[in-house]
Amino acid sequence: MIWQLDLILLLFVLICAIGALTVKDLLGAVIILGAYSFFMCILWTEMGAVDVAFTEAAVGAGIGTVLFIAAVSKTKRRSKD
C-alpha cells in the first residue's frame, strides 16, 4: 500500500462525507453519498481488502443509492434544516 495515495483517497472520502451532510438538496446528497461509497471502495481495494470493496461497490454504491432515491421520490426533495 502507498500511504500518499491512501491520504489523497481519505481526503476525498472526507470531502464527500461533509458534502453529503451539508447539501440541502436531498437527491444531490444521495448522489454524493454514492461517490463516498465509490471512494471507500477504491480505498479498500488499494488496502488489499478486495472482498469488502466488492460488497461496498455492490451494496453501498449500487443498491443503497437506488433505495435512497426511491425514498426521496416519496417525500420532498428539499430539506428544511
Partner 1 sequence: MIIKRTIDMTKQSDDVIVKTLSRLLIPFMQIYALYVIAHGHYSPGGGFQGGVILGASIILLVITYGLDNALRKMSERLNTILCSTGVLIYAGIGLLCLILGGNYLDYAELDQILHVGIAQARSLGILGVEVGVGVTVMAGMISIFLDIATGGLPSGKIEGLRD
Q: Which residues bind partner 1 (CB under 8 A)?
A: 27, 50-51, 53-55, 58-59, 62-63, 66-67, 69-74, 76-78
CB 18, min distance to partner 1, A:
25
In the numeric block, the cell 470493496 is attached to 53
Q: Are 7 and 34 in contact (CB under 8 A)?
A: no
At residue 78, what are phi and psi to the nearest 5 degrees?
-100, 140
Cβ proximity to partner 1: between 43 and 53 the closer is 53
CB 74, min distance to partner 1, A:
6
